[in-house]
Structures are given as C-alpha cells and as structure tokens.
Amino acid sequence: MAEYKLKGLSCANCARELQEAIQKLENGQNAKVLYNSGKLIVDEQVNMKKVEKILASDGAFIVNKTDNGDPNRLTRTESHNHSHGHDHVHEHTNQKLKVLLSLATTVFILTIIFENNLPPSIAIGSFLFATAISGYTTFLKGLKNLTQFKFNIDTLMTIALIGAFSIGEWKEGTLVAILFGLNEYLEGLGMEKARKSMEELLKVAPKEATILDNGLEKIVPVGSLQKGQIVLVRSGEKIPSDGVILDGRSSVNEAAITGESLPVEKKVNDTVLGGSINNEGLLKVEITKAYEDSSLAKILHLVEDAQETKTPKELFIDRFAKYYTPLIIVIAILVMTVPPLLFNSEWGVWFYQGLAVLIVGCPCALILSSPIALVSGITRNARNGILVKGGVFLEQLGKIETIAFDKTGTLTKGEPHVLEVKQYDELFLSIAGSLEKSSSHPIAKAIMKKIMAESVPITDPEQLQTNSGQGIVGVINGQKYWAGNESNIGHINFTDKIQNDIHLLKEKGYTIVIVADKEKVLGIFGIADEIREESQQVIKNLYDVGIKQTVMLTGDHQKTAEKVAAEVGVTTYYSNLLPEEKVTKIKELTKTKHVAMVGDGINDAPALATADLGIAMGKGTDSAIETADIVLMQDHLGKLPEAIRLSKRVNKIIAFNISLALGLKIIALLLAIPGWLTLWIAILSDMGATILVTLISLTILIGQGQEKRNVTT
C-alpha cells in the first residue's frame, strides 16, 4: 500500500464518495481516503492517473507520497514539513474563497438595497454575478453529478439553485450559492484549525543531531541515529532521541512528551527523552534508542493514527448520509407533486416548498458534528501528555463509571524497599539473590538492592520459572528453591514461629517474600512501597468529575491492600489475585458498568485488554502501552481526572451538535407541511447550524494551560 498526502478535500462526505469511486477501480478495493488527516492510502497496483482524475472531480489533489511502508517514522514527519509549502497553497484556496465570498456578499447586499432603483436586468445580472463567484465550483460538480445520476450535497444544492432561478427567485438562489460557499469555507477552516493544532504538536520532533564521531562534531539527520552513538546537546536545543547523560547537568523541559511544564533536573546517568529541550548546560548523551523507537516517535505515531479511527457515532453518521440525500430528494419531489395532484393546490407554491426542503436537506452540519470535536479533544489531551489512541476511546472515556487500579506502580510508586529481614538460615540471602537477580518485578529489584549491599555469593540458577503474581521457583546447585508469597510456598507447613513472623510483618502492611527450600523456610523479606503523593488527591478528583466507583486489584495480601486502599481513598479492593483472577474480576465489573483499568503493565496487560478501556502508565512496559487504549505519559495519575472531564465535554458537545443539526432540520421540515417554509428559513437554518457546530467544536481547543496545575499535590 502507498500513502499520499492530499489537499483540497472539500468535506468528509465527499472524501467518502471519492473513496468509493477509487475502490471501484482495478486493485482499488482497499483504498482509503482519510478526511481528518488528509490522506489517501491505496494499493501500489492502482492506476494513479485514474485516481488523480477522480480526486480532481472534488478539487482534491495529491501533494506528495509519504513513505508508509518504511517503519522509520521520520520520513513521515519530514514529509509533513515538506508539505508546508503546499499548506500555503491550500491556505490560498481558502483565502481566495474568503475574498470571493465577501465580494459576493457585498454585491448581494448592495443589490437588495438598491433593487428598486435599478433596472431589473442589472439587478438580475448582479445576483448572477454573486452566484457565479461564490458557488461555481459546487455548481459545476453538481451538474456533473446530475448527468451521472449521482446524488450528493452538491447535486442537492445545484437542483435548488436551478429551481430557484427558474421561478425567478433571484435573491434566494444567490443566497443558496453564498451559503454553499460559506459551508465549504467553514468546513475547511474548522478542520484546518484542528489539524493545525495537531501539526503544531508534531513539530516538536527534532530534525538533526550533533554526533561526536572520534571527537569530531558532525550534524546528521535524527533518522540516522543509532543506539550507542554519542550526541552533544547545547542549551536551547532538543534532545534528539532517548538516551543517558554521560557528561554535564542541566534542567530539561519534557513538556512535549509528558505535558509537564516544570523543568526536570538531570545529571550524569539520568535518562533523557527525545524531543525534550535542554534548558541550560551542555549535555553529552549516549543514545539508547534509535529515533523510530523513541518515546516521542511512538507518541507522534499514535496521535497521527488516532485521528483516523472512527467512533460508532461517526460511522453511523457516515452511513446515514448515504441514504439521507436520496431520501431528501424523494421527499422534495413528493412535496412538489402530491398537494397539486391530490388537492388541486397551486403548482408554483409547492414547487417553491419542495426547493426549500432540498436546501434543508443539506447534511453538512450533521457530518461536521463529531470530527472537529474529536480531533480537538485528542489534540488537547495530547498536549497534556495523555495519548488517546482514537476517537472511540475518547468517547468511551467520557462514559466510564468505574475505575479499577493495579496497586503496585499505579497507586504506589512501584519502587519498593526492603524494610525488614527475618533470617533463619545462612543460605537465605545468597539463594534469594540468585533467584531474583534476573526478574524485572519491582519486588525483585528491591530485594536485589538490599542484597547487593551485603557481600554474599550469587550464582546463576540452572533452571528458573516465574509464577506470575506469586513468585519464582529455581534450581541452584542441583537443589530446588522457592521465593514468593504464601501461595508460592504451598509445600511447607510453617512452624509457629514463622507463622507469627509472617503475621507481624503483614500487620505492619508489608508485602512479604518468603524464601524456602524443599523442607524449610530460609528467611522472609518485609517490603513496602511508598504510596504516590498524588494518589489520594487523584481519587478524590475522580469522584469530583463523576466517577462512581474505584476499585483496587492486587496480588498482594489483604493487610497491605487494606492499608493502601484506606490511605488513597479507594472504596473497594480485592487482594491475593493472580493475574488471571484480575481478568475475571474485570469481566465481572464490566457486566454492569463501564469499566476502565489502570495499570503499569507488569503482568497487567491481560486486564487492560479486558476492560472497556485500558489505561497504561507511560513508564510502564511496552506491552502495556501497546495493549492500552490510553497512555499517560507522565509517570503518575495526576492528569487523568482532567482527561475524563474533557472527554465528557467532547461527548456533550457532539451530542449537542447532532441534536442541533437534526433539530433545526426537523423544525424546518415541519414548517413545510403548512407551507410556511421559505427559502430564507431553509438557508439560514442550515447556515446557522454549520457555523454553530464548527464554532462549538473548536471551543474544546480553548482554555489550554488552565488545567495544568489543577491536580498536583
């Protein structure tokens, strides 16, 4: 498949029609015309000459080919930048439209004012002139459609225009043309605004890097950066890709990736993210990820793709529009013919009513009701460091009633420490270290930190097996050993002393890891993880934005669970859960409620996938970020309530837009029954709906920055 950047698509509905036309070509059946991002995706085998001809019928054209097959995201970002020249071309088209429209409107108004003083031929001439300059593209497209018996909005408007002129309604006819020009202008403007703001986001991508090659500085494109290369980043420059600081210290602005505007202090051995800005010192950074694997490239990829997934509501409207236009034409014909034929009413009167119905039929406002709002919502969230992977998920987020949290790494910091050690055997630490050294679980990390401080011998186990959510079993020097919670040590009957120790550690709220051989317990670790400072406030804010229930799911024992739940304010908790039991719990919850699951990803991916909405912590594992529908780039939950508030607002705006668009049409259609509908009412209701829907959707983009500091400690 090849991907092309398009310009000049006039409306969402037209894009759908172009897509259908291209799909009819040989090898074209999988072609996609994406309105939101202005893209054409089509099989390489398709005859591009024919495709271009189809595109031209809507005034659209190919700007350039973007390399979609190439996994290197840079080519896409680059082509984005290259296309800026063409953006101006497009801006010019919109600019031209604006000038012509203003001129047409002025001529129109002046002619109405002086109509009585002008000879009729001059007045009519002026109206025709205004019509020609504002509506000629629509008119030409419509005429062509008419000859091909294709009925879409342009056809509708063209019939209305011809009809109005044929009965001498010059003013109304002209206004129809102006209205159509205005519709086209606003639609272009609204989508362009939302898209601009998305492109603004994409601009944060760094373009070049200064590498140190044998002590020599060399400037290379970021796309060519490789793992292990050393780059220099001067103050004010962007860090080209994810890496580790080898030399220098500075404060770094990570807002592009995390949405957090406060600078972060960085020193030697700290990790830095590509796309963040070096505020002060000179930094020498070792690149740990090629640009295409960096967090930033992933974000840009996600956000770009997010524009295209359609929500069920959008799909419905798309499908709806297909039957809607022909239906309106049928209704208009009925209105024109039934009363004169059956009730002997005057033909002229009902012909006029039928024309008005045609104009009311323009579904532009309806089609525009959700895409601008969704793209604006996704963009606004992305600016806050919250990646929503598509319109559907934004819509879903606004409906969530219950949120389930994983404990470790989500509500707590996920950086536990060993606080108490009970040793019963001299082999204890050495065995524990050998078992845990290759585990990535935060608990294992805590144990290793403790053990590294002691000087005990650690060996590689001959065999090692992880029991997810329980612990580890391994063979060391021919002997089998266990480390984990009680369910992982099922083969031993604990002595009274050990049982008492376990009880005491649990009472303190510690997570316990018991280390044992075949017959006896060697020792126990008491481990605790700090609760994130913002957790309590976040839970409170979640209730404030309308979440009904919060639930904590953990593999840890009941005492710790109770303690953490009470401290952060989560109302329900389930403890001692294996990963698959977390999935079962989520399934149970989703039966009656809309449930989101938030996790950091260490064995949470299945639960994230099961919930109606999976939310992953950005610093979690790749698998969780891939499974999740929403990714929080900041390493805490602080922005989640705001994202929910925003998505609720987006949902409300879409619902309002749809009812406004439909409501105005229904009222206008009802007016047609007693014969009160005038062309004026029809035109103004449609114009009003389109303008309102566009403006209301764009308000989502306004007010940025306000929420930035709402939810901190």
Q: Which residues of this chain interact with ligand ADP, rule CB under 6 A?
A: 406-408, 436, 439, 441, 443-444, 469-472, 483-485, 511, 513, 554-556, 602-603
Cβ closest to ligand ADP, residue 90 vs residue 636? 636
Residue 10 binds which one of ligand ADP, Mg ion, none, with CB within 5 to 8 A depending on kind?
A: none
- Nearest residue (CB) to ligand ADP, 488 versus 690: 488
Among Mg ion, ligand ADP, none, what binds residue 396 when CB lies within 5 to 8 Å by partner kind?
none
Residue 513 interaction partner, one of ligand ADP, Mg ion, none, beta carbon < 5-8 Å per kind: ligand ADP
* CB nearer to ligand ADP: pick between 544 and 588: 588
User: Any catalytic annotation for residue 406?
Assistant: yes
Report the C-alpha gap between 644 and 152 in whole angstroms. 37
Q: Is 656 exposed, middle or buried (0-12, 13-18, 19+ CB in 10 A)?
A: middle
Burial class of residue 148 (count of CB atoms within 10 Å of its CB; 0-12, 13-18, 19+):
exposed
From 180-188, 556-564, 597-605, 610-618, span contacting Mg ion (CB under 5 A):
597-605
Please state the closest distance from residue 641 (CB atom) to ligand ADP, in A.
23
Q: Is the dihedral of CA 609, 579, 417, 509 positive or negative?
A: positive
Residue 340 vs 569, nearer CB to ligand ADP: 569
Nearer to ligand ADP, 289 or 585 (CB): 585
| Contact of residue 159 among ligand ADP, Mg ion, none (CB under 5-8 Å per partner type) | none
User: What, of ligand ADP, Mg ion, none, does residue 276 touch, CB below 5 to 8 Å by kind?
Assistant: none
Report the Cα–Cα distance between both ends of the chain, in Å, rounded. 49
Q: How many CB atoms lie within 10 A of CB 673?
A: 10
What, of Mg ion, ligand ADP, none, does residue 422 touch, CB below 5 to 8 Å by kind? none
* 649 closest CA partner among 613, 709, 700, 694: 700
Strands of 208-213's sheet in order across? 216-221, 208-213, 230-233, 283-287, 243-247, 271-272
Q: Structure tokens of 614? A: 């999976």
* Residues contacting 113, CB < 8 A, separation 6+: none
602 scored as a contact of Mg ion (CB under 5 A): yes
Per-residue contact string for residues 401-440; x = within reach of Mg ion by CB under 5 A: -----x-x--------------------------------
The runs of H, that is alpha helices, within 116-205 are 120-147, 153-166, 170-202
Least Å distance, CB 617 to Mg ion, is 10
CB of 604 to Mg ion, least distance (A): 6
Of residues 47-86, those binding Mg ion (CB under 5 A) = none
Write the CA distances from 675 to 143, 174, 643, 651, 662, integer angstroms. 28, 22, 48, 36, 20
| By CB under 5 A, residue 561 contacts Mg ion | no
Tokens of 181: 């020009």
Tell me how far apart the alpha carbons of residues 525 and 518 are, in angstroms, rounded to a whole number: 19
Nearest to ligand ADP of 145, 410 (CB atom)? 410
What φ, ψ does residue 430 adopt, rounded to 5°?
-65, -40
Q: Among all residues, whose Cβ is closest to ligand ADP?
A: 555
Look at residues 445, 617, 414 and name the one whose alpha carbon lies nearest to residue 529: 414
Least Å from the CB of residue 454 to ligand ADP: 18
Please, which residue, 253 or 554, has the CB nearer to ligand ADP?
554
Rounded distance between C-alpha atoms, residue 559 and residue 216, angstroms: 59
Q: Closest approach of Cβ 562 to Mg ion, in Å?
A: 18
CB 511 to ligand ADP: min, Å: 5
Rg of the chain in Å (alpha carbons): 32
Beta strands in 343-416 (DSSP E): 386-388, 402-406
Q: Which does 485 bind (CB under 5 to 8 A by kind): Mg ion, ligand ADP, none?
A: ligand ADP
State both tokens at 462.
Answer: 């001959």
Nearer to Mg ion, 64 or 438 (CB): 438
**The two structure tokens encoding residue 399:** 């409906």
Least separation in angstroms between CB 626 and Mg ion: 17
The identity of residue 645, as a single letter, is: R
Size of the site for Mg ion (CB under 5 A): 3
How near is the Cβ of 488 to ligand ADP at its closest, in Å? Answer: 7
485's CB contacts (< 8 A; 6+ apart) are 470, 471, 511, 512, 513, 514, 555, 556, 557
Tell me which of 242, 406, 612, 629 is the catalytic residue. Answer: 406
**Interacting partner of 444 out of Mg ion, ligand ADP, none (Cβ under 5 to 8 A depending on kind):** ligand ADP
Residues with catalytic roles: 406
Q: What residues line the site for Mg ion (CB under 5 A)?
A: 406, 408, 602
